[in-house]
Amino acid sequence: MRAVLHASLVVLIAIATVSAQAPPPKYPQVQVTAGRSTIVTTNFDVTRIAITNPAIADAVVVKPREVLVDGKAPGTITLMLWGGDQRMQYDIVVEQPISPLEQQLHQLFPNEEITVTMNADGIVLSGRASSTLVMLRIGEVVRAAQPKANVINMLQVPGGSDAQQVMLQVRIAEVNRKTLSELGTSLFTGPTGVGDWIGRGTSGQFPSVEFKDLERTQTPTSLDLKGKMDFSDFLNIFLFNTKWNAGTLVRALKQTGHFQSLAEPNLIAYNGKEASFLAGGEFPVPVVNGLGQVSILFKEFGVRLNFTPTIAGDLIRLKVRPEVSDLDFNNGITLEGFRIPALHTRRAETEVELRDGQSFAVAGLIDNSAQIDTAAIPMLSQIPIIGHLFSSKADRKERTELLVLITPRLVRALNPDEVPPLPTMPGRFLPSGDDLGGRLEGGGGTVDAPPVADAGRR
């Protein structure tokens, strides 16, 4: 008896296990779009119906063997039909209706597989596009139709990359050349003059001599003359004859300068995110508030790069803003005893489209400037030959060339076995015998170390 009960229990457990592992039965599926209707036909007369959620779909018996199903909202529900001794169950799938935006996209791009999903947070574009240009155009149309919506373009294109990070290689080259030529003279006498004359001749363009503390004392038997000469700048050539008590200052100067700068910043940014780079520094600027208190504000200068990449299939859209600035003390100001320099800035901002590894010159600047300043004493400067002694001239020329090249590259993170070794020096940091540990008793902690195979290598 016990054996029979045991066998029966095993059979029941086996049947229960098989029933639990059996897949759920599949019922006929009826698809309908929200806002539309369809007819479900049966092979028996329907006497009673039941539906799980009338908010998603509703059903009405229009004929003994026909049931009208109306889709209301996206979702899946169950429809039960009874008639006589028969029963039928259906899965009613209500799909999202095609939006006017999707219909418009299918009219503009008839050969593209486009699916538009709209919700409260934004619009998602999915499917496949024939080219990168078509994919970008579809995104632009959607953004124009829904300017306030957040558009996520997930359209796939042939040959597209799965990389979501962009490394931007930027080369900024600047060459500056300048030259300065100055020529002028200033004639003057000593403070006691020549005979009864004291004089000075200058065009005023360059500094000249100033007379101070002139005194003249005359008695019936003598004449005493005193005075001082003050020079703010001896210019280049200073000549003075003590016998004739006369002299001249000559400004004959030629200056040349050459400046070259090359910066190659590399920066990595995620798709659609902005990245910035600065190679330079900051200088303090005093700021006076309404109460007369002075606070310090720091301004940045140097080589700056801001860019935002957008990966569009096999193309990379870049919004680039390179900037090169340096301190300009010639155009600075003095505030509360502080010398504040100005900034000489070269900046460019543009958007370009490149493929992986392509280069583009986003900014090119050739700036030529020339300035000639002349000053002369009227009439005296027009005398032939010696008239040049009463005139001066300054000639300034400057040429600046700036070029910015950008090269975007799609990159991915390296696996641990792909990390390249860091550069190291081939020799030892300290030669053998010079370290302190070797002279300590006990070897400075080296007594437990393994023996060195070849001491000569050290």
Q: Is 129 exposed, middle or buried (0-12, 13-18, 19+ CB in 10 A)?
A: buried
Contact, 309 vs 166, CB < 8 A? yes
Reported as a single tens digit per residue, the pLDDT across 132-165 is 778 888 888 888 888 888 888 777 777 656 667 8
Reported as a single tens digit per residue, the pLDDT across 381-392 is 778 877 777 888
The CB density around residue 102, as the number of other CB atoms within 10 Å, is 19
pLDDT for residue 148: 80
Who has greater pLDDT, 261 or 281?
281
Highest mean pLDDT among 42-51, 177-186, 401-410: 42-51
Kind of pairing between the strands at 29-33 and 86-95: parallel
Residue 25 has pLDDT above 80, yes or no: no
Please provide the average confidence, as pLDDT, over all residues in the chain. 78
Where does the pLDDT of residue 454 fall: very low under 50, low under 70, confident under 90, or very high at 90 and above?
Answer: low
Looking up tokens 């054996």, which residue turns up?
3
List the beta bridge partners of residue 371.
396
Residue 5 has pLDDT above 60, yes or no: no
Across 135-245, where does the E strand assignment appear? Answer: 151-153, 165-189, 200-201, 209-218, 223-231, 237-241
Where does the pLDDT of residue 20 fall: very low under 50, low under 70, confident under 90, or very high at 90 and above?
Answer: very low
pLDDT for residue 451: 54
CA distances from 237 to 213, 254, 298 (A): 25, 13, 43
The whole-angstrom separation of Cα 162 and Cα 356 is: 13
pLDDT for residue 455: 47
Q: Please, what is the Cα angle at 269 between 265 and 358, to 5 degrees?
A: 65
| Ranges 79-88, 104-113, 445-454: which has the least confidence | 445-454
pLDDT for residue 432: 59
Who has greater pLDDT, 442 or 348?
348
Reported as a single tens digit per residue, the pLDDT across 329-378 is 878 888 767 788 888 888 888 888 888 888 877 666 677 888 888 888 88
Reported as a single tens digit per residue, the pLDDT across 197-237 is 787 877 777 777 777 777 777 777 777 777 777 777 766 77
Across 15-163, where does the E strand assignment appear? Answer: 29-33, 37-41, 48-51, 57-63, 66-71, 75-83, 86-95, 113-118, 123-128, 151-153
pLDDT for residue 431: 59
Share of the chain above pLDDT 70, in %: 84
pTM of the model: 0.47
| Ranges 214-218, 243-247, 279-283: which has the least confidence | 214-218
The whole-angstrom separation of Cα 65 and Cα 61 is: 8
Share of the chain above pLDDT 90, in %: 7
